[in-house]
A and B are shown apart, each in its own frame.
Chain A
């Protein structure tokens, strides 16, 4: 916990708020060894192929946070056109649209929203996006299947 003393006030405040007033369907708690590393859980949004799934993610606040965007990655396998097989996420606010005024909470809410509204026109996983565009019904079916296979509550 040596790092806590040097942890910027902003990170401390954000962490406190994440723990005391968690956003619905989202939990984020810092790792004991590294307070910049968060274990994140997101519930699959209702009326999406991921409904009923529980997704584990990791979130890391780099040295320059909040001037640099947090690094977020899915640890649970997911069939989604904007998330690749390594769990990397294609989301503008994690890249060029990042603003230091955004927070961990807003980032996680955006990821949750991305699960509700996949965007196959700006794909990260090319084959998934292709599947989504050519046969959405079947792709959604695969996504549901993966939810059942890989994202069940322990």
Chain B
């Protein structure tokens, strides 16, 4: 991380040049933020991801296959099935090879290397017929075939080419391209890819489907690669090099959690996010439970709309008491008495009320930041447009105006808001005595004060930055309007002077937001999540996300 901090300390402060200008020098952009596709984690060892575009998929797969071919010296098709069996984990494959030998590895992948001289299998082998000494009978169609019209797979089982073709056609259409197996009973060996291709080559459509499905395996069977979940699908996939707990941004601009393919949700965990999204429905039910009572006659949920506890059901005409829930006749309203305490289940309603109140608090905080994100996103779009226009307007002058500090600050603000909003989701689960599948957070309560302090620190700085940015953005827009109105070149110095005073404050606040984000993440990762049993992971803090890149 030192490179990022060095950047802050290097000069007057923030330097977004390398990000914002179309500077292609990899050295400068890497030094500041990491390249567009490589994101550096905050406290864990560097974790990175790469976008593989649709047209790069075949090359990426071939690279993985070639690595295996070069070490094992096996055909490419064999390498593919070995990798499929090991979920494309090269290291696991080589470890198995080193520890248990090649036989184990091939057996696991159901790849036959040499035809076994197994007498049991003889019965499914072709039978030489008496009629024609050279012809063989295929044990699938019972037809006679010349030896040239039969193919034996690597497992030794031979059938006629027409049957193999029919078998492959059915299996490929069934979606089994990745494991086209031998037709012999109880054999199950994967068919040699080269032989399969040779057999179906006169059906180009089938061959295409076969190749396509094999290529899909590189993504779908691969723990380190995942399709971008954008709809409509952009065709790209994302590959992670280290830990899978990252939130990559695809080249199409779609940002997602690699682990659960949902929207980014760090610092909340995948499971928390899932529960949080489901919670909305549950809380509706909770509201009904807390705020309504059931009519004793027609069982409809009833909401009280006045002070009087005498309820007259509009549905079934029943008269009942809100206090005790008992029915009575209209004549006995004033003689009805329920002041004596009766043990009942009303405590569940109070628990639910407390839980609901708590949820509503966290939900409101989360929603407030989500709402600000939306507004600030629009602000950012307008700003970027304005900057572009200003840059276009000053083409004839030699002097350069640099507003990257401002757009950079907005980007940081947006990123911080998103994280801040989601930190309320995390807090809701961590400190509420709520358990979600696979985790018990009761240990975390001790960290609540520290967490809330760091959260509050971040929140106040975020709001400060938000406020600070407002006026320069307005000024900039005003200057731009002026330039357009006068249909003249923009006079730089007044604008720069205008913003000069705010520039430093914005830069400092941006830096401070970043630092407080780091602190919050450090606390969550080192002091909170570490208290939990394994399996609670979050995507680490991304020092300025790729949103800066259009």
Give chain B residues whose Cβ lies under 8 Å from the Cβ of A101: 124, 139-140, 183-185
Question: Are B185 and A64 neighbours in the complex by a CB distance under 8 Å?
Answer: no
Question: Are B143 and A66 neighbours in the complex by a CB distance under 8 Å?
Answer: no
Give chain B residues whose Cβ lies under 8 Å from the Cβ of A66: 140-141
Give chain B residues whose Cβ lies under 8 Å from the Cβ of A153: none
Query: How far is A64 from B166 in the complex, measured between Cα atoms in Å?
Result: 8
Question: Are A100 and B142 neighbours in the complex by a CB distance under 8 Å?
Answer: no
Give chain B residues whose Cβ lies under 8 Å from the Cβ of A106: 185
- What is the distance, in angstroms, from A62's C-beta to the closest C-beta of chain B? 10
- What is the distance, in angstroms, from A2's C-beta to the closest C-beta of chain B? 21
Give chain A residues whose Cβ lies under 8 Å from the Cβ of B323: none
Query: How far is A64 from B168 in the complex, measured between Cα atoms in Å?
Result: 11
Give chain A residues whose Cβ lies under 8 Å from the Cβ of B159: 100
- What is the distance, in angstroms, from A10's C-beta to the closest C-beta of chain B? 5
A22 contacts the other chain (CB 8 A): no
- What is the distance, in angstroms, from B210's C-beta to the closest C-beta of chain A? 16
Identity of the chain A residue whose Cβ is nearest the Cβ of B140 in the assembled complex = A100
- What is the distance, in angstroms, from A92's C-beta to the closest C-beta of chain B? 11
Give chain B residues whose Cβ lies under 8 Å from the Cβ of A68: 170
Give chain B residues whose Cβ lies under 8 Å from the Cβ of A39: none
Contacts A64-B170, A67-B166 given; does A9 touch B142 at CB 8 Å: yes
Among A9, A99, A102, contact of B141 (Cβ-Cβ < 8 Å): A9
What's the tally of chain B residues with a CB closer than 8 Å to chain A? 18
B187 contacts the other chain (CB 8 A): yes
B361 contacts the other chain (CB 8 A): no
B163 contacts the other chain (CB 8 A): yes
B186 contacts the other chain (CB 8 A): yes
Query: How far is A100 from B159 in the complex, measured between Cα atoms in Å?
Result: 10
Query: How far is A67 from B167 in the complex, measured between Cα atoms in Å?
Result: 5
Query: How far is A84 from B140 in the complex, measured between Cα atoms in Å?
Result: 31
Question: Are A10 and B166 neighbours in the complex by a CB distance under 8 Å?
Answer: no
Query: How far is A25 from B164 in the complex, measured between Cα atoms in Å?
Result: 34
Question: Are A99 and B166 neighbours in the complex by a CB distance under 8 Å?
Answer: no
Query: How far is A101 from B124 in the complex, measured between Cα atoms in Å?
Result: 7
Q: Which of B182-201 contact A (CB under 8 A)?
A: 183-187
Among A9, A10, A67, A99, contact of B185 (Cβ-Cβ < 8 Å): A99
Question: Are A13 and B183 neighbours in the complex by a CB distance under 8 Å?
Answer: no
Q: Which of A5-29 contact B (CB under 8 A)?
A: 8-10, 13
Give chain A residues whose Cβ lies under 8 Å from the Cβ of B169: 67
Among B140, B167, B186, contact of A10 (Cβ-Cβ < 8 Å): B140
Query: How far is A68 from B166 in the complex, measured between Cα atoms in Å?
Result: 10
Question: Are B170 and A99 neighbours in the complex by a CB distance under 8 Å?
Answer: no
Give chain A residues whose Cβ lies under 8 Å from the Cβ of B187: 99
Question: Are B183 and A9 neighbours in the complex by a CB distance under 8 Å?
Answer: no
Give chain A residues whose Cβ lies under 8 Å from the Cβ of B142: 9-10, 13
Known: A9-B142, A68-B170, A97-B186. 18 other contacts (CB 8 A): A8-B141, A9-B141, A9-B143, A10-B140, A10-B143, A64-B170, A67-B163, A67-B170, A67-B171, A99-B184, A99-B185, A99-B186, A101-B124, A101-B139, A101-B140, A101-B185, A102-B185, A106-B185
Closest 6 CB pairs of A and B: A67-B170, A99-B185, A100-B183, A100-B140, A101-B185, A10-B142
13 contacts between A and B (CB under 8 A): A9-B142, A10-B141, A13-B142, A64-B170, A66-B140, A67-B170, A97-B186, A99-B183, A99-B185, A99-B186, A101-B139, A101-B185, A106-B185
